[in-house]
Structure 1
Amino acid sequence: MAVDPTYPPLDTPKPVADGVWIVDSGPMKAGGLVSIPVRMMLFRDAAGELVLYSPTRWTPDLAAELDKLGRVSWLLAPSSVHWTFVKSWQDRYPNAAVLAAPGLDKRGQVQRSGLRIDGRLGESLPLEWGGLFEAVTVPGGLGFREVGLFHRPSRTLALCDLVHNFEPEKLPPLQRPLVRLAGGTAPNGRAMLQLRTLVSLNRLAARAAAERLVALAPERVLFAHGRVFEADGAARLRRSLSWLLG
Structure 2
Amino acid sequence: MAEPAHPATYPPLDQPKPVAEGLWIVDSGPLRVLGLPLPVRMTVLRLRDGGLWLHSPTRHTDALQRALQEIGPIHHLVAPNIAHWSFLQAWQRHCPEARIWAAPELRRRRAVRKSRLRLDHDLAGAAPEPWAGEIEQRVVPGAGGFREVAFFHQPSRSLLLTDLVQNLEPGKLPPLVRPLARLAGVMAPEGGTPAYLRALLRLRRREAAEAARQMLAWQPERVIFAHGAWFERDGTAALRRALSWLLR
Aligned residue identity for 2:25? I
Task: Give the number of aligned pairs.
Answer: 244
Residue 17 in structure 1 maps to residue 20 in structure 2: yes
Match of 1:143 in 2: 145
Task: Please say if residues 3 and 172 of structure 1, whose CA atoms lie closer than 8 Å, have aligned partners that are also in contact.
Answer: no
Q: Secondary structure at the match of 1:11?
A: coil
- Report the alpha carbon displacement of residue 130 of structure 1 after superposing the two structures with TM: 4.7
Match of 1:97 in 2: 99
Match of 1:52 in 2: 54
Q: How does 1:230-245 map to 2 (within 5 A)?
A: 230-245=232-247
Task: Report the TM-score, using the length of structure 1 for normalisation.
Answer: 0.97
Q: Secondary structure at the match of 1:221?
A: strand
Q: How does 1:191-210 map to 2 (within 5 A)?
A: 191-210=193-212
In 2, Cα distance between equivalents of 1:130 and 1:36: 32
Task: Please say if residues 103 and 123 of structure 2, whose CA atoms lie closer than 8 Å, have aligned partners that are also in contact.
Answer: yes
RMSD: 1.2
Task: Please say if residues 6 and 30 of structure 2, whose CA atoms lie closer than 8 Å, have aligned partners that are also in contact.
Answer: no
Q: Secondary structure at the match of 1:190?
A: coil
Q: How does 1:208-223 map to 2 (within 5 A)?
A: 208-223=210-225
Match of 1:4 in 2: 7
Q: How does 1:41-190 map to 2 (within 5 A)?
A: 41-190=43-192
Task: Report the TM-score, using the length of structure 2 for normalisation.
Answer: 0.96
Uncovered stretches (5+) of structure 1, i.e. residues with no partner: none
- Report the alpha carbon displacement of residue 3 of structure 1 after superposing the two structures with TM: 6.6
In 1, Cα distance between equivalents of 2:117 and 2:162: 19
Uncovered stretches (5+) of structure 2, i.e. residues with no partner: none
Alpha-carbon spacing, 1:185–1:61, altered in 2? closer, same or farther (3 Å): same
Aligned residue identity for 1:203? R
Task: Please say if residues 46 and 130 of structure 1, whose CA atoms lie closer than 8 Å, have aligned partners that are also in contact.
Answer: no
